[in-house]
């Protein structure tokens, strides 16, 4: 959703005070109606309310900016609020007055890099608390169009930073933890806020080679749909029980997503059991007619969207054309009623109609925003997300005690980044600690001279600032270069043509290498992968850190890592490809497996040599993995595993036990990753090189050992075949912990289709 769509919707201006923000069920027009009777089932309450609305009043509530109905005492309601990684600028969220800011956490790509789902849950809990405080002051809605759980399929995608990465299992774990934190709190009677999983489905292109997301038709095989594009949505809808989903701009196999009855009704509602509503991306209903040309009239467009299950529109197409569709009998009034049943039911579950005094969420206020806990969590999440990619001879961390009277140069276009650290879909942060400020604050009182020179812009051909940067580097004891990309290069609506580090930055790095007294330290800020092979291979670059978009405390988080107050343990949530990758595969190619014109996508199928692999990341300490099991853990009969077991998909085949020991000289976290490689004789199909089925982030003191458990279930062993069916095959399953093969499991018997 781009903010340009605000121009095409009726913007609500919230007023302070709860009276105009909620229906009055005490003394207002609704007070004597069933909608205000909490003892009744929500369906009965909703049916009665809808029955009292005129057709034009109903239509006015089919768009995200729902109008007031004074005679019923229904206030205006803006459905579109944002909270991707903190409350974000959107039609429903207003910063100001007693609530000038909200906590700005790192981008989701950073949170994926933490591999810490407890952290994700805690962040979501803070976000939903602040959202409720804003709502109680009339400065936000209760329905938030977050999270983005599309798979980061291609490094060129401008919105990949909004997601936790390229892996369906990681994304599924992320979305479960996030939705739990957003929607569920201390009062089981009510949703804390209503989340929205987007964009359903196979959406991961903005504008590439003359085709934008409004026109794109994603050609997706059943195998890829089931194996890659649907799992995160299944977890979101079926397991986490999200309150809503958003249908996307693109078509899937010739059918616009918001008109795709099979996806929205058969899969989301019937198979995944969606208990909530479907909202369109902003303007996507009009796309059905005007860009996809799937329909030929406005009436038919309304009908296919409504009959497919798109209940609510972000835009005004429904507002202008629902009545026309009724008159032409392409829809009937009960079609509208069904959609309103779903949206009003969510408002009931949020407590919108119930007395505030009985709801703990209605008591939250400005004192629950930007708390000490939230500030500490923003710093910790930045720290946990930083990935150390290179560290020659343990040149990092720097020892503050040995740097007295030394000069450290911070050079580059992201050294003083502030708003850029927030990523996209951000709001007003209470403060922004850029890297320069973070370094200065952390070294204050230690007689260390921290100086900054920009050197160059993110992407330009102007070398006018080179001289000052080179002069500073020549006179400094230690030189850091801060580079990467920003939202002029990757954002909503903008995909990349190249995944190279911008030429101007590489040119400056090479010149700095010639004059610096010691090898350079490189810090990269980006959401998508950048080819860092020059830095990886250069003897003049001693260390390399990726920091994503680390949020309000990003600069301080980085400084604590550089100076050894925090031991980095982030792992890459994406594959970093060589620059040549963009010439080997079209962004329009949705296929994950390698083919004659596709080298394969993600760590599961990429046949080339990655610059850095998914899951890669270093530490200041070392870890050793041991296990007590034999190489072949056990033999299992497929039939005995699934017989007489109604929840056989979750049946544990083997419990993988790994002992992890900190063998270095510094306490720190380790991210233990568990992969499985399936039998390579599965019906002559290409199977993943490996696939993630478990991970755990643990903290270990020096010489400490902890045992980590990974249940290897039938679900983790399933292979998806060309027709989208799931099979449990006989053969050997190899289990890897990190890069080490530790176990083999043999399944015997007849291969069986399970889904």
- Using CA atoms, how far apart are residues 745 and 635, in angstroms rounded to an integer? 7
- 627 vs 455, which has greater pLDDT? 455
CA dihedral 359, 360, 364, 367 (to 10 degrees): 150
**pLDDT tens digits, 4-61:** 333 333 333 333 333 468 999 999 999 999 999 999 999 999 999 999 999 999 999 9
Phi, psi of 634 (to 5 degrees): -170, 165
pTM: 0.96
CB 279 within 8 A of CB 316: no
623-753 shares the fold of 378-605:
no
Question: Chain centroid to CA 11: how far?
Answer: 27
Average pLDDT over residues 371-386: 98
The upper half-sphere exposure of residue 272, i.e. CA atoms within 13 Å in the direction of its Cβ, equals 29
Task: For residue 246, give both structure tokens.
Answer: 């958003």
Containing 245, the helix (H) or strand (E) segment is strand 244-247
On the question of pLDDT at 682 being above 80, the answer is no
User: What pLDDT was estimated at residue 1?
Assistant: 52
On the question of pLDDT at 592 being above 80, the answer is yes
User: What pLDDT was estimated at residue 12?
Assistant: 35
On the question of pLDDT at 618 being above 70, the answer is yes
- Using CA atoms, how far apart are residues 556 and 675, in angstroms rounded to an integer? 34
User: What pLDDT was estimated at residue 584?
Assistant: 98
Which of 15-19, 265-269, 623-627, 632-636 is predicted most confidently? 265-269
115-128 burial: b if 16+ Cβ within 10 Å, else e: bbbebbbbbbbbbb
**pLDDT tens digits, 419-432:** 999 999 999 999 99
Task: For residue 179, give both structure tokens.
Answer: 């939705």
Cβ neighbours of residue 646 closer than 8 Å, sequence gap 6 or more: none
DSSP result, 126-193: HHHHHHHHHHHTTSS-SBB---B------TT-TTGGGSS-S-HHHHHHHHHHHHHHHH--S-TTS-SS
Cβ neighbours of residue 595 closer than 8 Å, sequence gap 6 or more: none
* CATH number for the domain formed by residue range(s) 623-753: 2.60.40.10
Sheet with 652-662: list strands edge to edge.
Answer: 623-626, 652-662, 705-713
Q: What is the DSSP letter of 405?
A: T
User: What pLDDT was estimated at residue 633?
Assistant: 58
Q: Supply angle C-alpha 462, 463, 465, rounded to 5.
A: 115
Local structure of 286: helix, strand or coil: helix
DSSP result, 67-102: PPBGGGTBPPEE--BB-SSS-B-BTTB--BTTB---
Query: Average pLDDT, whole number, for the chain?
Result: 94
Cβ neighbours of residue 736 closer than 8 Å, sequence gap 6 or more: 674, 675, 676, 677, 690, 742
Task: For residue 373, give both structure tokens.
Answer: 């806990």
Containing 513, the helix (H) or strand (E) segment is helix 503-515
Task: For residue 633, give both structure tokens.
Answer: 């853990």
> Any idea where the domains of the chain sit in the sequence?
378-605, 623-753
On the question of pLDDT at 629 being above 70, the answer is no
CB 531 within 8 A of CB 374: no
- Using CA atoms, how far apart are residues 416 and 411, in angstroms rounded to an integer? 9
End-to-end CA distance of the chain: 34
Average pLDDT over residues 563-584: 98
Q: Which of 153, 403, 557, 538 is nearest to 546 (CA)?
A: 557
On the question of pLDDT at 571 being above 90, the answer is yes
**pLDDT tens digits, 393-416:** 999 999 999 999 999 999 999 999
- Using CA atoms, how far apart are residues 367 and 370, in angstroms rounded to an integer? 8
Q: Which of 306, 225, 226 is nearest to 261 (CA)?
A: 306
On the question of pLDDT at 562 being above 90, the answer is yes
- Using CA atoms, how far apart are residues 676 and 167, in angstroms rounded to an integer? 14
**pLDDT tens digits, 242-255:** 999 999 999 999 99
For helices 333-349 and 298-308, the axis angle rounded to 10 degrees is: 50
Phi, psi of 753 (to 5 degrees): -80, 130
User: What pLDDT was estimated at residue 632?
Assistant: 53
Task: For residue 473, give both structure tokens.
Answer: 């580097």
User: What pLDDT was estimated at residue 335?
Assistant: 98
Whether 154 is a known active-site residue: answer no
Average pLDDT over residues 171-190: 97
Average pLDDT over residues 87-110: 98
Question: Chain centroid to CA 415: how far?
Answer: 25
**pLDDT tens digits, 259-273:** 999 999 999 999 999
Average pLDDT over residues 629-640: 69
Cβ neighbours of residue 311 closer than 8 Å, sequence gap 6 or more: 62, 277, 278, 279, 338, 339, 340, 342, 343
Average pLDDT over residues 591-616: 98
Q: What is the DSSP letter of 561?
A: H
Q: Is the dihedral of CA 179, 183, 185, 188 positive or negative?
A: negative
On the question of pLDDT at 673 being above 90, the answer is yes
Other CB atoms within 10 Å distance of the CB of residue 457? 16
User: What pLDDT was estimated at residue 634?
Assistant: 62
Of 281, 300, 500, 670, the active-site residue reads 281
pLDDT band at 646 (very low <50, low <70, confident <90, very high): low
**pLDDT tens digits, 297-355:** 999 999 999 999 999 999 999 999 999 999 999 999 999 999 999 999 999 999 999 99
Burial grade of 10 (CB within 10 A; 0-12, 13-18, 19 or more) = middle
Tokens 């007031």 sit on residue: 68
Find the radius of gyration of the CA atoms of the chain. Answer: 27
302-to-100, 293, 296, 326 alpha-carbon distances in Å: 40, 13, 11, 10
Phi, psi of 602 (to 5 degrees): 65, 170
* CATH number for the domain formed by residue range(s) 378-605: 3.40.50.1700
User: What pLDDT was estimated at residue 630?
Assistant: 53
- Using CA atoms, how far apart are residues 715 and 651, in angstroms rounded to an integer? 8
């Amino acid at each position: 959703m781009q903010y340009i769509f605000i121009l095409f919707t009726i913007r609500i201006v919230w007023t302070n005070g709860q009276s105009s923000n909620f229906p009055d069920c005490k003394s207002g027009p609704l007070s004597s109606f069933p909608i205000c009777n909490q003892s009744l089932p929500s369906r009965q309450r909703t049916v009665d309310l809808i029955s009292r609305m005129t057709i034009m009043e109903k239509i006015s509530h089919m768009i995200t900016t729902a109008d007031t109905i004074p005679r019923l005492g229904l206030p205006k309601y803006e459905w579109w609020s944002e909270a991707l990684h903190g409350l974000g600028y959107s039609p429903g969220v207003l910063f100001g007055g007693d609530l000038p800011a909200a906590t700005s956490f790192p981008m989701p790509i950073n949170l994926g890099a933490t591999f810490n789902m407890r952290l994700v849950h805690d962040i979501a809990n803070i976000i939903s608390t602040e959202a409720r405080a804003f709502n109680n002051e009339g400065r936000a809605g209760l329905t938030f169009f977050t999270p983005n759980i599309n798979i980061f399929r291609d490094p060129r995608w401008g919105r990949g930073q909004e997601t936790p990465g390229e892996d369906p299992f990681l994304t599924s774990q992320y979305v479960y933890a996030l939705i739990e934190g957003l929607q569920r709190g201390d009062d089981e009677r009510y949703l804390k806020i209503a989340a929205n999983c987007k964009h359903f489905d196979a959406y991961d292109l903005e504008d590439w080679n003359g085709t934008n997301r409004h026109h794109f038709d994603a050609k997706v095989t059943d195998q890829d749909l089931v194996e890659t594009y649907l799992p995160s949505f299944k977890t979101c809808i079926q397991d986490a029980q999200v309150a809503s989903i958003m249908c996307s701009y693109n078509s899937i196999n010739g059918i616009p997503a918001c008109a795709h009855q099979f996806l929205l009704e058969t899969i989301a509602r019937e198979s995944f059991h969606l208990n909530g509503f479907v909202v369109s991306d902003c303007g996507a209903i009009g796309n059905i007619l005007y860009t996809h040309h799937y329909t030929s009239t406005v009436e038919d467009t309304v009908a296919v969207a409504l009959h497919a299950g798109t209940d609510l529109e972000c835009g005004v197409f429904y507002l202008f054309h629902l009545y026309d569709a009724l008159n032409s009998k392409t829809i009937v009034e009960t079609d509208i009623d069904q959609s309103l049943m779903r949206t009003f039911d969510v408002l009931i579950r949020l407590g919108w109609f119930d007395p505030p005094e009985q709801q703990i969420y209605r008591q939250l206020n400005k004192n629950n925003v930007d708390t000490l806990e939230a500030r500490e969590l923003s710093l910790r999440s930045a720290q946990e997300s930083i990935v150390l990619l290179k560290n020659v001879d343990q040149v990092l961390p720097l020892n503050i005690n040995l740097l007295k009277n030394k000069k450290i140069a911070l050079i580059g276009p992201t050294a003083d980044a502030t708003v850029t650290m927030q990523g996209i879909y951000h709001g007003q942060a209470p403060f922004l600690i850029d890297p320069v400020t973070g370094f200065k604050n952390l070294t204050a009182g230690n007689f260390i001279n921290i100086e900054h020179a920009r050197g160059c812009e993110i992407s330009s051909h102007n070398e006018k600032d080179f001289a000052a940067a080179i002069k500073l580097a020549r006179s400094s004891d230690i030189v850091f270069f801060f580079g990467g990309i920003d939202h002029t290069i990757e954002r909503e609506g903008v995909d990349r043509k190249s995944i190279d580090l911008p030429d101007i930055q590489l040119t400056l790095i090479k010149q700095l290498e010639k004059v610096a007294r010691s090898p350079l330290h490189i810090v990269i800020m980006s959401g998508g992968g950048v080819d860092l092979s020059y830095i990886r291979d250069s003897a003049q670059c001693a260390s390399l850190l990726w920091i994503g978009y680390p949020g309000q405390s990003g600069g301080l988080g980085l400084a604590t890592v550089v100076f050894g107050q925090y031991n980095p343990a982030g792992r890459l949530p994406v594959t970093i490809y060589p620059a040549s990758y963009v010439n080997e595969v079209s962004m329009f190619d949705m296929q994950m497996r390698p083919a004659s014109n596709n080298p394969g996508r993600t760590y599961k199928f990429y046949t080339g040599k990655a610059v850095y692999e998914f899951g890669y990341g270093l530490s200041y300490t070392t870890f050793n993995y041991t296990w007590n099991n034999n190489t072949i853990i056990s033999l299992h009969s497929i039939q005995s595993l699934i017989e007489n077991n109604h929840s056989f998909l979750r049946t544990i085949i083997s419990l993988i036990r790994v002992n992890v020991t900190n063998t270095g000289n510094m306490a720190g976290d380790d991210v233990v990753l568990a992969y499985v490689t399936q039998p390579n004789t599965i019906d002559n199909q290409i199977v993943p090189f490996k696939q993630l089925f478990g991970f755990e982030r643990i903290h270990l003191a020096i010489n400490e050992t902890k045992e980590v458990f990974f249940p290897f279930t039938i679900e983790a062993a399933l292979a998806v075949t060309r027709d989208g069916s799931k099979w449990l095959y006989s053969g050997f399953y190899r289990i890897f912990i990190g890069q080490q093969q530790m176990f083999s499991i043999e399944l015997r018997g007849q291969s069986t289709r399970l889904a």
